[in-house]
Amino acid sequence: MTERVVDVAGLPGEPLPLARPREVEAETSAARAGGPAPDWQRSDFCGTLRAADEGKVVVLDGWVQRIRDHGQLVFLDLRDRTGVVQVTCDASRTPEVHAVVRDLKPESVVAVRGRVRRRAPGAENPRMATGEIEVEPERLLVLAAAKTPPFPIGAHAPGEVDERLRLRHRYLDLRRPEMFAHLVLRHRFVKAARDFFDARGFLEIETPMLTRSTPEGARDFLVPSRLEPGSFYALPQSPQLFKQLLMVAGVERYVQFVRCFRDEDLRADRQPEHTQIDVEMSFVTQEDVLATMEAMMIHALGAVGRRPPGPFRRMSYREAIDRYGSDKPDLRFGLAIADLGPAAAGLPFPPFAKALGEGGSVRALVVPGGARLSRREIEGLAEEARERGASGLVWLAGGPDGWRGPLARPLAEAGDDAAARFLAALREGLAGPDGEAAGGLEGSLALLVAGPAEAASAALGHIRLRLAERLSLVPDGRDAFVWVTDFPMFEWNEEESRWDAKHHPFTAPHEEDLDALLTDPGRVRAHAYDLVWNGVELGSGSLRIHRRDVQERVFRAIGLGDEEAREKFGFLLEAFEYGVPPHGGMALGLDRIAMLVAGAATIREVIAFPKSASGADPLTGAPAAVDPSQLLPLGIEVRRGAPKA
């Protein structure tokens, strides 16, 4: 197991403020009865002692990180949340302390009174913040003995300790400096965000946890009502309707760091509960919301040592899909998808002619340096493209001796003009929309998909990300933020043969698309936007509908009858009759932001007490059966073996 010292105090930002007990006492001026005797009053923190403290008598509290027994000398690494300091016990100077320390188990809690001294020359440890000094103990108190922990409290390589075991003993896992640093990071980010909003007149307002279903498209967690058996509260999927009601109430600027619950099918990195930075503003344009959220991100990321380059890029949903095959494009690298259009028609290659003839397109990734991929690797990519719905993927690699691949022959057989046009289109594709990659086609690899435009782009979008990994296209330390705007208002629900709201049904459609609401819903664009960081969607938002007639048409477009709309959202519609300001907002996922800042592999790493990937909590055993006597007053009976939905 590698030992790595993580200096929490070394996180960017202010030093971790830990008020000393005496200061706390001075503040509260309440004398503590029955506390430790004054000479055991903690005076300092382990991780903050330095050479300048030489000669000082200190009292430290903490956990035994490890004991190294060298006979006459026993070294105790003492850890508190600020870091680790070495306590060196010499049998010839303090035999009683020496004898006790030898028998101490790691993770026991002790208090040490001793003197700070410089380490002997050559014994310094430059990897430790406190590596120049050590503490020579005079006395030691064992405050609580510990059992041998199920895993060491040092740095773990990912996967080195089974995650279930870590979650089962999360209180031990959180003692690890890396994990504690995640808690600090989260705290600092939230604090900075909160200050940012406060300075701009936002009010932090709590909305109910026991409420009605909210239309975010996921399944609700339900809470049975005892007072009205057979009725249920829903835990909020978001405070959407309440924050809109707060705008009707005249609050104008709302923010909440709020827990939201979505009972979704488990995917690797989903949690049934997550924290959103939830915002709503009145009398604003889309631009106002974007500018506010962008400034907040730059400010709060600054508080955790990240300086994202602003202004963030903007890209319409259409462009994101066409160019990157995704509504959350990773723009840390180029490799945009090119539409070869008519240039592809010039090649004597029937699949191209067929796709174009059917109103589809021929799209390509032109990969600089890609010709070095082996035929097998390219075939592997073709297989993945097919799995993603492409009818096939053909390729053309430029080598010093000419072209290779299935398109080499059609290219050779095309007329000079047609071949030149095709190669010019590839060259344009290589340069990308911003002309970011220059150079010739030699050494590059073109991967082409023919078929319906969106399917072709989606398949290539997937391949693009695979290539970025394989060819290490993401430059170290680069960050790319992008606002994806103008999402479609609706998406087709194949299973139920109807249109669904893509964001939620309170999203405002573009004014100029209103006439298509009922006639051609697929064409309607919404004032809806996502913020994307390095290919990860951080959150969504929109301007909201504040006209009753538009709201009614949107409900109708998604097949929600007047009766049902009134039943579900009548309270909101009624509120809207009493003077509703134009408003809009968004919500950003705090867990995802913390995960990306920490460079963590999953959001579970940045949540104090997360659920496992299967939605369980190995620490408390939740979810768990309850006593039948608890179910009785709720009018609920559990049927064993009921089919899973």
Decide: 282 and 252 in contact? Cβ < 8 Å. Answer: yes
**Tokens linked to 266:** 């488990």
Nearest approach in angstroms of CB 540 to ligand ASP is 5
Question: Toward ligand ASP, which CB reaches closer, 63 or 555?
Answer: 555
Per CB under 6 A, which region of 17-25, 189-197, 583-591, 611-619 contacts ligand ASP? Answer: 583-591
CB of 239 to ligand ASP, least distance (A): 7
- State the minimum distance, in angstroms, from the CB of residue 256 to ligand ASP: 11
Select the span of 5-13, 289-297, 510-518, 536-544 touching ligand ASP (CB under 6 A): 536-544
Residue 588 CA from chain centroid, whole number:
9
Considering only residues 542, 546, 576, 590, which one is a binding residue for ligand ASP as defined by CB under 6 A? 542
Question: What tokens does 431 get?
Answer: 């340069």
Q: In what order do the strands lie in the sheet with 313-316?
A: 203-204, 253-261, 273-282, 583-589, 536-543, 528-533, 481-485, 313-316
Q: Which of 451, 286, 429 is nearest to 366 (CA)?
A: 429
H-helix or E-strand spanning residue 247: helix 240-248
Rule CB under 6 A: say whether 271 interacts with ligand ASP.
Answer: no
Site residue total, ligand ASP (CB under 6 A): 9
Long-range contact list for 153-158, CB < 8 A, 24+ apart? Answer: 153/63, 153/65, 153/79, 153/106, 153/107, 154/1, 154/2, 154/3, 154/4, 154/65, 155/1, 155/2, 155/3, 155/4, 155/6, 156/1, 157/2, 158/601
Q: At what angle do helices 177-199 and 286-302 cross, to 10 degrees?
A: 140
Shortest-Cβ-distance residue relative to ligand ASP: 238
Q: Which of residues 412-431 bind ligand ASP (CB under 6 A)?
A: none
User: 166 vs 262, which CB is nearer to ligand ASP?
Assistant: 262
Contact between 540 and ligand ASP (CB under 6 A)?
Answer: yes
Q: Considering beta carbons, is residue 457 or 540 the nearer one to ligand ASP?
A: 540
Pick the piece of the chain touching ligand ASP (CB under 6 A) from 102-110, 519-527, 540-548, 632-640: 540-548
**Cβ of residue 230: shortest distance to ligand ASP, in angstroms?**
29
- Which lies closer to ligand ASP via its Cβ, residue 464 or residue 592? 592
Element (H, E) at 362: strand 361-367
Smallest distance from ligand ASP to CB 506, Å: 8
H helices within 271-407, ranges in order? 286-302, 317-324, 342-345, 350-357, 375-387
Letters for 166-205 (x = contact with ligand ASP by CB under 6 A, - = none) are ----------------------------------------
* Bridge partner list, 399: 402
Nearer to ligand ASP, 216 or 319 (CB): 216
Residue choice 207, 240, 244, 271 for contact with ligand ASP (CB under 6 A): 240
Cβ(163)–Cβ(612) below 8 Å: yes
Size of the chain, expressed as the number of residues it contains: 645
**CA within 13 Å, CB half, 380:** 8
Contact between 264 and ligand ASP per CB under 6 A: no
Least CB distance to ligand ASP at residue 200 (A): 17
Q: CB-wise, 136 or 216, nearer to ligand ASP?
A: 216
Element (H, E) at 500: strand 498-501
User: Rounded to the nearest whole angstrom, what is the least distance from the CB of residue 133 to ligand ASP in the complex?
Assistant: 50
Cα–Cα distance, 110 to 89 (Å, whole number): 14
The residue written with tokens 């066409």 in the block is 322
Q: Which stretch binds ligand ASP (CB under 6 A): 25-33, 66-74, 87-95, 537-545?
A: 537-545
Q: Which is nearer to ligand ASP, 81 or 583 (CB)?
A: 583
For residue 60, the minimal CB distance to ligand ASP (Å) is: 46
Single residue of 585, 591, 593, 605 touching ligand ASP by CB under 6 A: 585
Residue 501's nearest CA partner among 417, 560, 434, 577 is 560
Contact pattern from residue 6 through residue 25 relative to ligand ASP, giving x for each residue in contact according to CB under 6 A and a dash for the rest: --------------------
Give kind and range of the element (H or E) at residue 574.
helix 562-575
- Residue 238 interacts with ligand ASP (CB under 6 A): yes or no: yes
Burial category of 210 from C-beta neighbours within 10 Å (exposed 0-12, middle 13-18, buried 19 and up): exposed
Q: How far is the CB of 262 from ligand ASP (least distance, A)?
A: 9
With a CB cutoff of 8 Å and minimum separation 6, the contacts of 279 are 197, 202, 243, 254, 255, 289, 292, 293, 541, 585, 586, 587
Cβ(220)–Cβ(331) under 8 Å? Answer: no
Please give the structure tokens belonging to residue 223.
């809470």
CB of 237 to ligand ASP, least distance (A): 7
- Angstrom distance (rounded) from CA 10 to CA 19: 17
Instruction: Tell me which residues in 209-228 interact with ligand ASP (CB under 6 A).
Output: 216
From first CA to last CA, the distance across the chain in angstroms is 44
Our finding on whether 282 is near ligand ASP (CB under 6 A) is no
Which H/E stretch holds residue 453? helix 453-470
Judged by beta carbon, residue 52 or residue 203, the one nearer ligand ASP is 203
Q: 259 or 566, CB closer to ligand ASP? A: 259
- Looking at the Cβ atoms of 79 and 568, the one nearer to ligand ASP is 568
CB of 32 vs ligand ASP, minimal distance in Å = 45
Q: Is 587 in the site for ligand ASP (CB under 6 A)?
A: yes
Token readout for 329 is 């494009």
The interface region with ligand ASP, picked from 112-120, 403-411, 493-501, 539-547 by CB under 6 A, is 539-547
Least distance in Å: CB of 204 to ligand ASP? Answer: 16
Nearer Cβ to ligand ASP (88/542): 542
Contact assessment for residue 495 and residue 396, using Cβ atoms and an 8 Å cutoff: no
Interacting stretch for ligand ASP, rule CB under 6 A, among 54-62, 118-126, 438-446, 585-593? 585-593
Q: Which of 586, 596, 597, 634 binds ligand ASP (CB under 6 A)?
A: 586
Q: Residues 637, 642, 645, CA angle at the centre, nearest 5°?
A: 115
Query: Nearest approach, Cβ of 508 to ligand ASP (angstroms)?
Result: 11
Our CB check for ligand ASP shows the closer of 216 and 552 to be: 216
SS3 223: strand
Site for ligand ASP in 458-497 (CB under 6 A): none
- Paired tokens of 339: 């539409």
Residue whose CB is less far from ligand ASP, 84 or 281: 281
Q: How many CA atoms lie within 13 A of 213 on its CB side?
A: 16
Does residue number 541 form part of the binding site for ligand ASP (CB under 6 A)?
Answer: yes
* Segment interacting with ligand ASP, rule: CB under 6 A, options 246-254, 262-270, 376-384, 538-546: 538-546
**DSSP per position, 192-214:** HHHHHHHHTTPEE----SSB---
Q: Is 509 in the site for ligand ASP (CB under 6 A)?
A: no
Please give the residue ranges that form the binding site for ligand ASP (CB under 6 A).
216, 238, 240, 540-542, 585-587
